[in-house]
Structure 1
Amino acid sequence: MAKSVFWSKMLTACIMMLLVGAGTMTFAASASAHGYIESPASRAYLCKQGVNTNCGQIQWEPQSVEGPGSFPQSGPPDGQLAGTGRFPELNVQTESRWQKVTIHGGENTFQWYLTAPHATKEWKYYITKKGWNPNKPLSRDELELFCYYPGDGKRPPNTVTHTCNVPTDRSGYHVILGVWEIADTGNAFYQAVDVNLVNNNLAAQKSTPQNTDAPIPSMINWLKSLWPGN
C-alpha cells in the first residue's frame, strides 16, 4: 500500500511538472509574439481569420513572423521572406495559393497591430517588380522599396499606421512585404500582403488612342491663307 501511495504521488508530481512546463512554453511563445499588418490584411492575418487555409502554426500567432533584421542586406534567405525559417507554410509562393486583397495604386494606409511593441529602428515596404514571376519563391531581386518610415529608436503604440504611395505603373497580383526593423535586437518582423493591385489609369492609357494628327488640318488651312490667290 505504501509503495502504491508513493508511486501515485510521484505520478501526480510528474504531471504537475509537465503542466507547468507546457504553461511556461506557451507564455514564452506568447511573449515572443510582436506584430502583424491587419490592413490591408496580411497573408498571416488572413490565416488567423481562416480566409487562408492550411497555414500551420501561424494561424494561432500571426504576430510571430520574426527573423534576422537589416533587410535586404541581411535577413531571411531568398525563398523564406514571407515566413522566415519559423513558418515554412507562408513561404509557399504560387499565383493561386493565397487570397488577395484588392487595393488601388496611389495613397494607401498600412496598419500594424503590435501585441508587444519594441523600440523601433525603421519601417520599410517593398513590392514585387513589374513582370515578376508569382510562381517562383519570393526573392530580394524581385522586390523594390516604395515606402519608408524612421523609427528613431522609440517604442510605438499598439496600433501603427503609415501612409504610402503604392506604385501606379503596374496592375494585377503583387506581393507587398512590410518589414519592421527592431532597434534593441538584431531582428525584424516580416509581413507579406497579397494584393490585387488596380490601376485604372493604365487601362485608360492603353484604350485611349493618341490623336497626334488633330492639329495638322488647321495648320494646312493657315498655310493656304498665306499663299497669294487663295
Structure 2
Amino acid sequence: MIGKRKSHTFLQSIGFTALASALFIFGNADAASAHGYIESPKSRALLCSERVNTDCGGVIYEPQSLEAPKGFPGTSIPDGQIASAGGVFPQLDAQSSNRWSKVSMNSGRQTFRWHLTAMHATAKWHYYITKPNWNPNQPLTRNQFELVPFYEVFDGGARPGQKVSHELTVPQRSGYHIILGVWDVADTANAFYQVIDAQFTGGSNPNPDPGPGPGTPDPPSEFPAWSATAIYVGGDRVSHNGQVYRAKWWTYGETPGRAEVWELVR
C-alpha cells in the first residue's frame, strides 16, 4: 500500500510539473510573439531571413525579435549595437560599406510598412537616418545619425493591425545610408528596432506629392491647430503659425513658440 501511495504521489508530481510547464508556455505565448519587422523597404533583418544577407546568426529565424529597452535616442541601447538592438543578434552590428545588401530608394515621399507577429499596444513609431557625411565603415553609433526623427507618430496606446503603414518623407540623400525604424510599445518598457540599408540614387521619389497648384489654399496640416482653450498632454502635437509643435508635458493656454512646454518639431 505504501509503495502504491508513493507511486501515485510521484505520478501526480510529474503531472503537475508538466501542467505547470504547459501553462507557463501558454501564458507567455503572447509576450513571445509580440514582435515585428519592417517588410517594405526590406530591413537588414528581413533580408537575413530571406538569405539575401549571409552570416547573420539566429536572426534568420526571427527577424521580428530585435527587442530592447525603449528610449532611443537616449541611453536605451549601446552605441555600436544599434542594428542588433543591444546585442540580441550581434552579427547584425558588423558594419562596412559592402557588408550588407541594399534596397534601392529615392528621397521624398515613401511608404514604409511593418509586419507585426502580434499587435502590441503602441506608444509611438519613430524613424532616423544617417547624416550626409556619415562613415559606413565605422560602427553604427548615435553620432552617425541625425537624432531628430524625420518621422514620428504617437498612437496613444492603441493596438495596431498586423500591417502598419507610414506615409513619410525621406530626407534628401545620395549613396549608401541607413534608416532606423523604432516601434515603442505602450505597456512594456521595450521597443523593437529595425535598420534598413538603403542605396539612394540622389534623386527624389518619381511620383512626389505635387502639392497645391497656383492660387490654391494651403492644405490643412496633419496635426490640429493649437487652441488656447484646449488641454494638451505630453506627446500631443499641434500646428501653429505654419509650424508643428509637440507638448513636453501637460499644458493649457500656453502658446507654441513662446512657452517652454512646446518643442518645435518642424
Q: Give the TM bin, normalised by the shorter chain.
A: 0.7 to 0.9
Give the aligned partner of residue 37 of structure 1. Answer: 38
The structure with more helix, counted as a fraction of residues: 1
Q: Is 1:180 equivalent to 2:183 in the alignment?
A: yes
Give the aligned partner of residue 72 of structure 2. Answer: 71
The structure with more strand, counted as a fraction of residues: 2
Contact 1:33 1:61 in 2 (8 A): no
Matched residue SS, 1:63 = coil
Give the aligned partner of residue 97 of structure 1. Answer: 99
Q: Is 1:157 equivalent to 2:158 in the alignment?
A: no
Q: Deviations over 1:26-83 (max 9, x none)?
A: x859824510000000000001111011111000000000001011113110001111
Matched residue SS, 1:62 = coil
The one-letter code matched in structure 2 to 1:135 is N
State the alpha-carbon separation in 2 of the partners of residues 29 and 54 from structure 1.
Answer: 29
What TM-score, normalized by structure 2, do the two folds share? 0.64
Q: How does 1:97-176 map to 2 (within 5 A)?
A: 97-144=99-146, 145-168=149-172, 170-176=173-179
State the alpha-carbon separation in 2 of the partners of residues 55 and 118 from structure 1.
Answer: 26
Matched residue SS, 1:131 = coil
State the alpha-carbon separation in 2 of the partners of residues 153 and 28 from structure 1.
Answer: 21
Q: Deviations over 1:150-187 (max 9, x none)?
A: 1111010010000110112x200000000001110111
Q: Deviations over 1:117-158 (max 9, x none)?
A: 111110000000011000111111211221111111101001
State the alpha-carbon separation in 2 of the partners of residues 88 and 28 from structure 1.
Answer: 25
Give 2:203's match in structure 1, choosing from 187, 200, 203.
200
Contact 2:129 2:179 in 1 (8 A): yes
State the alpha-carbon separation in 2 of the partners of residues 111 and 200 from structure 1.
Answer: 22
The one-letter code matched in structure 2 to 1:185 is T
What TM-score, normalized by structure 1, do the two folds share? 0.74
Contact 2:105 2:201 in 1 (8 A): yes
Q: For the pair shown, which has the larger CA radius of gyration, 1 or 2?
A: 1
Q: How does 1:188-227 map to 2 (within 5 A)?
A: 188-200=191-203
**Structure 1, unpaired ranges of 5+:** 1-12, 202-230
The one-letter code matched in structure 2 to 1:167 is P
The structure whose RCO (Cα within 8 Å, separation 6+) is larger is: 1
Which of structure 1's runs of 4+ aligned residues deviate more than 6 A? none
Q: Deviations over 1:101-126 (max 9, x none)?
A: 00100001100000011111100000
State the alpha-carbon separation in 1 of the partners of residues 31 and 71 from structure 2.
Answer: 24
Query: How many residue pairs are counted as aligned between the two chains?
Result: 184
State the alpha-carbon separation in 1 of the partners of residues 136 and 151 from structure 2.
Answer: 22
State the alpha-carbon separation in 2 of the partners of residues 32 and 83 from structure 1.
Answer: 18
Contact 2:34 2:120 in 1 (8 A): no
| Cα distance change on mapping 1:166 and 1:68 into 2, 3 Å | same
Matched residue SS, 2:71 = coil
The one-letter code matched in structure 2 to 1:189 is F
| Cα distance change on mapping 1:30 and 1:61 into 2, 3 Å | farther
| Cα distance change on mapping 1:180 and 1:35 into 2, 3 Å | same
| Cα distance change on mapping 1:29 and 1:47 into 2, 3 Å | farther
Give the aligned partner of residue 81 of structure 2. Answer: 80
Contact 2:30 2:118 in 1 (8 A): no
Identity within the alignment, %: 52
The one-letter code matched in structure 1 to 2:100 is W
Report the aligned-residue RMSD. Answer: 2.4
